[in-house]
Structure 1
Amino acid sequence: MRRILIGFDGSERGDDALAFGRVLANAAGAEAEPVVAIVYQAVVPKDSHGTESDYQARLRYEAEEQLARARELAPELPSEAFVAVRASSPASGLHRLAVSRGADVVVVGSSHRSALGRIWPGSATEQVLHGAPAAVAVVPAGYAGKPEEERALRSVAIAYDGSPEAKNALEQGVAIAVANGAKVAPISVVDLRMPTPIAYGYEQYVTAVRELAAVELRAAGEDVAGAADVDLIEREGDPALELAAASAGFDLLVAGSRGYGPLRRVLLGSVSSRLVREVSCPLLLLPRSAADAGDEDDAVTGGAAASA
């Protein structure tokens, strides 16, 4: 991921996004193309000729002042990497800029209401997540306040259930881990809750689900063997809760979007929407790819709902 769009709003959550965006840019090295963007509100022009109103000028000036602070926080980035965008909302501005710049990932912070170390999407963050045209990294509150050595990506967890979306997450997660010299940990969560009530056969169902999850997890390990230091993790329980609990021991959690909907869009499902509220480390949600769509009819899934 070299084209990195960082949403900055001058708040502490903007600082968090900038801090993690710099980590990603550093991993990409000389090929990195980071952009730090602040979106300010578009208002009605002063007249029919499109003359900027005094209020619009003030909003633009405030945005430029906040960008000046971002430059101080990221002095290694070139001046052209900082842009102010006028749009009807932060989400629409970032989505539009992501498309025009061909962004690989959009980095945003969590809501002002977040507890330290947890993500709680506010209106802007939640709008950016829904239907984003690129991967979205959501950074938990307080991330920028960590010492620099604690922000390094030394371990990458991947929500894995054997689905095409999870395989894409595995590929992207391993690439990030390799770029950072990090360990990678595919995590499979076996959900033993019955999809529909049955009068008999529960023990056979549990055995089958566990066996399928174990086979898929071993296959994931074989796929990435030699590329990175791999640790396969099996858990049982509610996928969102188990993945969130496991995230406390990692520097990044990678997950796919749900397995239907428009291509190349991030779509929150039941697991991912809960993950963004509970995960303790930065969360990278990947959009559906054309490959995912081509394979979805043939996918047999078990384990964690990594793309729900």
Structure 2
Amino acid sequence: MKIEHVLAGFVPEPRCRDGLALAVLLARQSGARLTVAYVHAPAWTTPGPGKVDAEWQAYVAEDAAHSLEQARRLLADVRDVPIDYVLTGNRGSGRGLVQLAGRSKADVVVIGPAPGGVRGRIRLGSTADQLLHASPVPVALAPRGYGEDHPPGIRRLTVAYRRDPASDEAVLRAAVIAARMGVPLRLITLVVRGGRQARMEEEMLNRLRERVMADLRAAARGHGRLEVEVEVLEGRNVAAALGATDCEGAMLVCASSETGPLRRVFLGDISSKIIRSAPCPVMMLPRNPPRKPGILGEQGKL
């Protein structure tokens, strides 16, 4: 997977800086072009064949143009990334971005958080919900405040890993992105010790740690010269486990739920918890069809 075209959804609100900042970092480090899109309300048809409320259409056009002009001003100092600005109409901003991603052949869609929420965390709203259940390309989400306090660059990709085909595929795709961006790759597995696991005997917990570490080490092999680290994170819940490691300057990569449709991002329960708990941007990858025998090993080499 290569990132050559980044599509950023824009809203004329203070939180728009968060998604734009992440989109610029991704485009800059990947050598990609950036498209900033504003999804406006569609034209309001009135009774009668082909009639459109001209006053409403003029208002929508003026408001959309004003919104894109605001985006241009916010990115006026970005000189090293080619940027286009586009308008598209749809009743749902997420659905509009999904359609635009398909038409423009974007490699990733980037958005900021929904209104409200905690600084440094990602809040999911209707736009994210539509994207995270329908996008044919990866979806990257920025936490609240990222536009004001972001690193000069993404310095590491971290893959949330568990032993299954979807995670194996996510490692391969993240490795390609990391190599293109010139950053190391880290694989993490979360061991949540709440409920039944909280009462595990230490010997059983040690066996679990050993098995998880063996899975991580196996997944880390075969990536050429790319630096790959592995780490087991433990905590009473997902937030506590993620808080046990350094996420500064990182972007977390997650595989879609295996219960979702092929070639679409599909948000499962664990991924949802990770997104809401992560103190850094998160990229959700869509599912791919199963690989043919022999292909996995070839694509694992960089």
1:18–1:272 Cα change, 3 Å: same
TM-score between both structures, scaled by the size of structure 1: 0.82
Cα offset, 1:167, TM superposition: 1.8
Answer with 132-141 or 242-251: which moved more.
242-251
Alignment partner, residue 8 of structure 2: 6
Shift in Å at residue 175 of structure 1?
2.5
Q: CA deviation at 1:170?
A: 1.6
Deviation, structure 1 residue 124 = 2.3
Instruction: Please state how far the C-alpha of 1:179 moved relative to its aligned partner.
Output: 2.6
For 2:286 and 2:240, how far apart are their aligned partners in 1? 22
Match of 2:296 in 1: none
Counterpart AA for 1:282: P
Matched-pair contact (CA < 8 Å) for 2:44–2:52:
no
Unaligned runs of 5+ in 2: 294-302
Q: What amino acid is the match of 2:231?
A: I
Aligned equivalent of 1:259: 258
Q: What does residue range 11-90 of structure 1 map to in structure 2 within 5 Å? A: 11-29=13-31, 32-46=32-46, 48-75=49-76, 76=79, 78=82, 81-90=84-93
SS at match of 1:34: strand
- Structure 1 position 114, deviation (Å): 2.2
Paired position in structure 2 for 1:152: 153
| Structure 1 position 234, deviation (Å) | 1.3
Conserved? CA contact 1:263–1:290, under 8 Å = yes
Equivalents in 2 of 1:238, 1:260: separation in Å?
Answer: 26
Pairwise CA distance, 1:240: 2.8
5 Å-filtered alignment, 1:247-286, equals 248-286=247-285
1:238–1:267 CA distance, 2 compared to 1 (3 A): farther
SS of match in other structure, 1:145: coil
| Separation in 2, partners of 1:5, 1:275 | 23
- Report sequence identity in percent: 30
Q: Which residue of 1 aligns with 2:221?
A: 222
**What's the secondary structure of 1:44's corresponding residue?**
coil
* Counterparts of residues 175-254 of structure 1 (less than 5 Å): 175-191=176-192, 206-224=205-223, 226-228=225-227, 230-237=228-235, 240-242=238-240, 244-245=242-243, 246=245, 248-254=247-253
Q: Secondary structure at the match of 1:171?
A: helix
Residues 154-169 of structure 1: pairs in structure 2 closer than 5 A: 154-169=155-170
The answer to whether the 8 Å contact 2:38/2:86 transfers is yes
Kept in 2: contact 1:159–1:186 (CA 8 A): yes
Deviation at 1:54, TM superposition (A): 1.2
**What are the ranges of 5 or more consecutive residues in structure 1 without an aligned counterpart?**
296-308
Aligned match of 1:304:
none
Letter aligned with residue 10 of structure 2? F
Matched residue type, 2:100: L
Per-residue deviation at 1:238?
Answer: 5.4
Structure 1 residues 113-163: Cα deviation after superposition (integer angstroms, max 9, x where no partner) = 02211111122222222222211001001111126xx24111221111122
Alignment: residue pair count: 285
Give TM-score scaled by structure 2 length.
0.84
Alignment of 1:103-142 (within 5 A): 103-142=106-145
Q: Deviations over 1:202-225 (max 9, x none)?
A: 777545433321211111222335
Q: Deviations over 1:35-75 (max 9, x none)?
A: 11100111422453243531232122111111112122224
Q: How far apart are 1:281 and its partner, in Å?
A: 0.7
Residue 191 of structure 1: how far off its partner (Å): 4.2
- Does the CA-based 8 Å contact 1:2-1:28 persist in structure 2? yes
Contact kept in structure 2, 1:2 and 1:25, CA below 8 Å = yes
Deviation sequence 1:79-135 (CA, Å, 0-9, x none): 6x2111111110111111111122221101101202211111122222222222211
Partner Cα separation in structure 2 for residue 135 and residue 152 of structure 1: 19
Q: 1:5 to 1:140 in 2, by over 3 A?
A: same
- In 2 relative to 1, CA 152–88 (structure 1 residues): closer, same or farther, beyond 3 Å? same
The alpha-carbon distance between structure 1 residues 268 and 191, as it changes in their structure 2 partners (threshold 3 A), is same
| More deviation, 10-19/170-179 | 170-179
8 Å contact 1:247–1:281 — kept in the other structure?
Answer: no
Who is 2:297 aligned against? Answer: none
